[in-house]
Amino acid sequence: MYNKTLAELSQALQQRDTSSEELTGMYLQRCRQFMDKLNCFVTLTEEHAMAQARAADKKIQAGKAGPLTGIPMVHKDIFCTNGIKTSCGSRMLDNFIAPYDATVVRQLDDAGMVMLGKTNMDEFAMGSSNETSYYGPVLNPWDPDRVPGGSSGGSAAVVAARLTPMATGTDTGGSIRQPASLCGITGLKPTYGRVSRYGMIAFASSLDQGGPMTRTAEDAALVLNAMAGFDEHDSTSANEPVEDYTSQLENPLEGLKIGLPVEYFDERLNPDISRIIHDGIAELKKLGASIHEINLPSSKLSIPVYYVVAPAECSSNLARYDGVRFGYRCDDPRDLNDLYCRSRGEGFGREVKRRVLIGTYVLSAGYYDAYYLKAQKIRRLIRNEFQQALKEVDVIIGPTAPGTAFKLNELIDDPINMYLSDIYTVSINLAGLPAISVPAGMLNGLPVGMQIIGDYFSEARLLNVAHRFQQATDWHQHQPAEYK
Amino acid sequence: MAWETIIGLEIHAQLATQSKIFSGAATAYGAEANTQACAVDLGLPGVLPVLNKEAVRMAIMFGLAINAEIPSRSVFARKNYFYPDLPKGYQISQYELPIVSRGSIDITLGNGETKTIGVTRAHLEEDAGKSVHEGFGNLTGIDLNRAGTPLIEIVSEPDMRSAKEAVAYMKKIHAIVTYLGICDGNMQEGSFRCDANVSVRPRGEKKFGTRTELKNLNSFRFVEAAINYEVERQIDVIESGGKVIQETRLYDANKNETRSMRSKEEANDYRYFPDPDLLPIEIEKKIINEIKQSLPELPDAMKRRFIEEYHLSEYDADNLTAGPALALFFETTVQHSGGEPKLSANWVMGEVAAALNRENKDYNQSPIKGEMLGGLIKRIKDNTISSNIAKEVFTAMWNGEGSADEIIEKKGLKQVTDSDAIEKMVDEVIAESPQQVEQYKNSPPEKQGKLIGFFVGQIMKKSKGKANPKQVNELLKNKLAD
């Protein structure tokens, strides 16, 4: 049963082949069994889950169930949950309990989903390996010596290990797609503003976007139906109509124009990864798609631009963690300055402090124009290049990550190479576009993800391409041996 | 050496919205600490600001009232600094693209001339909370009720040349925001406050001197006193061979002096950047026109109308239009006075102002309403009572004893205009005062005017103030000339 997709579980619940209570009990059992091994949870919410499951069963019995009612899931510990700890992977918020639900939490709650717990993550979503978490690294279910990717590493590991069929993630520079790639699952980053950011703890406000992490594109579509939409509590959420994202899943791919950016496939790309992605593209070609070479010349600047813009916003977003009103406070502060310095010095980890310092620097008088302003200009350039390319083609395809899951501690002291693991994902956040990572092959026993990028608000099209790909391939059905 | 003073003001006016600029929490003053601060005001993780459209509308009203440009696009920016009463570690303000740019107002100088003062810009921002230093031992308390209250910061050009001009400018801005109803103007509660940038230069010099910024001047009187003190201080520093340092100084009203708070070197680098949580404000011409149509009569227009319609002096009209409650009070009084604008003006600015001042009340809190005051003035006009008796009636009215007519009736204060009765009293007083009559008759005419006062006083005493003084005077003159 735990191997079923969300869509299959939904059907089983509708047909009363199982109950939410039964499913929830089973998945909780698996969570308890594997959580210490994977270190994937910050909080397991068993009682809360059972109560939600019973409520869901009542809804199902009353014939008031929707497709998500009664389905177990987990939230990345970046989404605020009323009355339940929200740590954001940080010592700073180890004691923080929000008095409100994030909009996404409320939406999925309203849809009848059952939250089993909250997943481990890189501290404040800053990291690509899940090693920056205050709670220690999450391990990759495919190989315990390797990282799951980050920052939504806990969510990716939970779905890959079949501890739930679905998890929420957030993606600021690749934090949904890269761990999805490294763990062999499907991860969708919607268009910026498609999903509300209210109650989702901010890292870089102009880049952050929540989305679903699932086993299949079909499951992602079902969840996006509940997550997407305008939110009056988030001024940057898009006031665009929400489609039924499942309605186009089965559409044929005849006539689909796929763009391949030459910059993504140059000599720097690992040849094995390149081969896997080209095989994936060949599958889509078989389904009727045509292939077109495109140029995204500014994409090489995306990492430096990202590491100006994101730290700048984070340095300001994280200023509220000052030990005054909530969160970590140092012992016996001597004076105000000491309170600030030690609370923040002790409450934040190294990567967070590194980015706060970079961000403070690039916004400082005398450096603002040279760094922040210039980065914003290049960001516009990157955005324009994508928009131009997407006039010629329907989707853009490339690798999600430059390699497979790397070893624990391999890059933790090498921030530059760690940052480069997001080289294919950050530009999509800078442009605000939607993109999905789907499993497209295996390399030395580790999954490889393929990234499909679309135009603004073209999630239905992306999910359609991903779904047809998954109908034609079985990479998304591979699963780590220990968790079968 | 002759010195010239250069002053620019930054005025913070709290907008009279029901809720805060980026949250739904109430803005009412005086609530128990931290009861009017929601998750957004507290800067809890994950929460987001949502702009209050009413604050935008009010800022546009102000811009239109000072004939400023309202750009079609303005942007919120974050001003980053750490302070315990600043929950997010940044203040949401506007920096490069404010909602109101380039306007001006006219002020009236002491000599009656008009001077135009430029307004560089006005921008929307949120207020911070308050640090509370009393009642917590050696700790500091934080009250975040005020955090997120909408403000417009109005920045003037360095166009003012004396403390008096600065006060006139500040009063004018105060009148405009209160006429518009976008600010309650309450300076004690901090709804309207001001910082002053002050520098001096030798007369004739083109370059500005080094300026200091005077903080938190929360009354018109303090603005004037602080600037005057600071100008003296700067001149002293320069004349004794020193240099003025660019710094922020705090005015101490108790000692009437300014003290250094922090120097330019210690100043924060605010690292302004556009707030990614808020979209730029886009304003259509149509909206601006709609708001323009809805603007109430403003102080300058009202002043001109008072001069034309009521034939008031420039001075009276200026004073009567200093605030909307005062102007309304005056106009109501006139309407009920039987067409006596000048007398109404005198009473409103005289007795009423003094009485309100004593009790620290505004015109809209006056126990005597304009209608009632008009009723009193009508009785002065038609000679029912004299001006002196009117003062007595006014006091009774103030104490809630009824309308003018009721009090005059009840207390029997009607003026005696019966000439027989007055003549009788005149005769009696002349008969009782042979010495004074003798003295009067022996005096040259230019001294008689003064001496007659004695007789008038005696008669008024006899009549308990009710004899018509004009009649008394005429009769006396005739009788004493005999």
pLDDT (tens digit, 9 = 90+) per residue, A129-173? 999 999 999 999 999 999 999 999 999 999 999 999 999 999 999
- Cβ within 8 Å of residue A95, ≥6 positions away: A85, A327, A328
**Structural domain includes residue A146:** yes
* Interface contact flag, B46 A364, Cβ < 8 Å: no
**Structural domain includes residue A383:** no
* Interface contact flag, A204 B276, Cβ < 8 Å: yes
What phi and psi values does residue B337 have, to the nearest 5 degrees?
-95, 0
Query: For position B445, what pLDDT does the model report?
Result: 80
Query: For position A454, what pLDDT does the model report?
Result: 98
Q: What is the mean pLDDT of residues A462-474?
A: 98
Q: Which of the residue ranges A266-270, A474-478, B154-158, B409-413 would you say has the lowest mean pLDDT?
A: B409-413
What phi and psi values does residue A187 have, to the nearest 5 degrees?
-135, 125
Query: For position A484, what pLDDT does the model report?
Result: 86
* Interface contact flag, B277 A98, Cβ < 8 Å: no
Helix, strand, coil abundance in chain A, percent, nearest 5 = 45, 15, 40
What's the count of helices (H) and strands (E) in chain A, helices before strands? Answer: 15, 11
CB atoms within 10 A of CB B447: 12
**Structural domain includes residue A1:** no
**Structural domain includes residue A278:** no
Same domain, A409 and A359: no
pLDDT bin (cut points 50, 70, 90) of residue B265 is confident
pLDDT bin (cut points 50, 70, 90) of residue A267 is confident
**Structural domain includes residue A91:** yes
Same domain, A313 and A403: no
Using a CB-CB cut-off of 8 Å, the residues of chain B touching A308 are none
3-state DSSP assignment of residue A448: strand
Please give the positions of A annotated as active site: 76, 151, 175
Same domain, A428 and A343: no
Q: Does position B264 have pLDDT exceeding 80, yes or no? A: no
**Structural domain includes residue A131:** yes
* Interface contact flag, B273 A322, Cβ < 8 Å: no
Phi/psi-derived region of residue B51, left when phi > 0, alpha when psi is between -120 and 50, beta in every other case: beta
Query: For position B438, what pLDDT does the model report?
Result: 84
Q: What is the pTM of this model?
A: 0.91
Same domain, A306 and A360: yes
User: Domain containing A139 — which CATH number?
Assistant: 3.90.1300.10
Residues of A with CB under 8 A from a CB of B: 79-80, 86, 88, 93, 96, 98-100, 102, 197-202, 204-206, 232-236, 312-313, 315-316, 318-322, 324-326, 336, 340, 360, 363-365, 368, 372
CB atoms within 10 A of CB B358: 9
Total domains in the fold of chain A: 2
* Interface contact flag, A233 B87, Cβ < 8 Å: no
Q: Could you tell me if A59 and A31 are in contact, meaning their C-beta atoms sit under 8 angstroms apart?
A: no
pLDDT (tens digit, 9 = 90+) per residue, A174-198? 999 999 999 999 999 999 999 999 9
Same domain, A241 and A98: yes
Nearest CB to B45 within list A80, A206, A313: A80
Listed ranges B27-31, B95-99, B254-258; the one with the highest mean pLDDT: B95-99
* Interface contact flag, B45 A88, Cβ < 8 Å: yes
Query: For position A324, what pLDDT does the model report?
Result: 94
Same domain, A233 and A304: no
Same domain, A166 and A306: no
Same domain, A93 and A238: yes
Same domain, A365 and A397: no
pLDDT bin (cut points 50, 70, 90) of residue B154 is very high
pLDDT (tens digit, 9 = 90+) per residue, B329-384? 999 999 999 999 999 999 999 999 999 999 999 899 999 999 999 999 999 998 88
**Structural domain includes residue A290:** no
Which of A375, A409, A426 terminates a domain? The answer is A375
Task: Provide the residue range defining the domain that includes A313.
Answer: 300-375
Query: For position B425, what pLDDT does the model report?
Result: 84
pLDDT (tens digit, 9 = 90+) per residue, B283-320? 999 999 999 999 999 999 999 999 999 999 988 999 99
- What whole-number percentage of chain A has pLDDT above 70? 100
**Structural domain includes residue A145:** yes
Same domain, A436 and A362: no
Using a CB-CB cut-off of 8 Å, the residues of chain A touching B46 are 79-80, 86, 98, 102, 197-202
pLDDT (tens digit, 9 = 90+) per residue, A403-460? 999 999 999 888 888 888 899 999 999 999 999 999 999 999 999 999 999 999 999 9
Which of A319, A345, A375 terminates a domain? The answer is A375
Closest by CA position to A166, among listed A243, A89, A111, A96: A111
Same domain, A115 and A84: yes
Query: For position B426, what pLDDT does the model report?
Result: 85
What phi and psi values does residue B93 have, to the nearest 5 degrees?
-140, -165
* Interface contact flag, B45 A96, Cβ < 8 Å: yes
Nearest CB to B45 within list A93, A234, A364: A93
Chain A CA closest to residue B92 = A316
Same domain, A348 and A476: no
Chain B CA closest to residue A193 = B277
What 8-state DSSP symbol labels residue B364?
G
Query: For position B210, what pLDDT does the model report?
Result: 96
Nearest CB to B39 within list A99, A315, A363: A99
Rounded Cα gap, residues A169 and B103, in angstroms: 49
Q: Which of the residue ranges A24-38, B154-168, B309-323 would you say has the lowest mean pLDDT?
A: B309-323
Q: What is the mean pLDDT of residues B251-267?
A: 85
Computed over every residue of chain B, the mean pLDDT equals 92
Query: For position A58, what pLDDT does the model report?
Result: 97
Nearest CB to B48 within list A197, A313, A336: A197
- What whole-number percentage of chain B has pLDDT above 90? 73
3-state DSSP assignment of residue B12: strand
pLDDT (tens digit, 9 = 90+) per residue, A45-63? 999 999 999 999 999 999 9
Rounded Cα gap, residues A69 and A63, in angstroms: 11
What phi and psi values does residue A359 have, to the nearest 5 degrees?
-65, -40
Q: Does position B479 have pLDDT exceeding 90, yes or no? A: no
Alpha-helical regions (H) of B280-323: 285-294, 299-310, 314-320
Q: A100 CA to chain B: closest CA distance, Å?
A: 9
Q: B89 CA to chain A: closest CA distance, Å?
A: 5
Rounded Cα gap, residues B303 and A388, in angstroms: 60
pLDDT (tens digit, 9 = 90+) per residue, B42-77? 999 999 999 999 999 999 999 999 999 999 999 999
Query: For position A84, what pLDDT does the model report?
Result: 98
pLDDT bin (cut points 50, 70, 90) of residue A469 is very high
Which of A375, A407, A426 terminates a domain? The answer is A375
Closest by CA position to A211, among listed A244, A182, A171: A171
Q: Which has more pLDDT, B139 or B202? A: B202
Query: For position B452, what pLDDT does the model report?
Result: 84
pLDDT (tens digit, 9 = 90+) per residue, B370-392? 999 999 999 999 888 888 889 99
Q: Does position B415 have pLDDT exceeding 90, yes or no? A: no
Query: For position B429, what pLDDT does the model report?
Result: 86
Strands (E), B170-244: 192-202, 212-217
Computed over every residue of chain A, the mean pLDDT equals 97
Q: Could you tell me if A436 and A188 are in contact, meaning their C-beta atoms sit under 8 angstroms apart?
A: yes
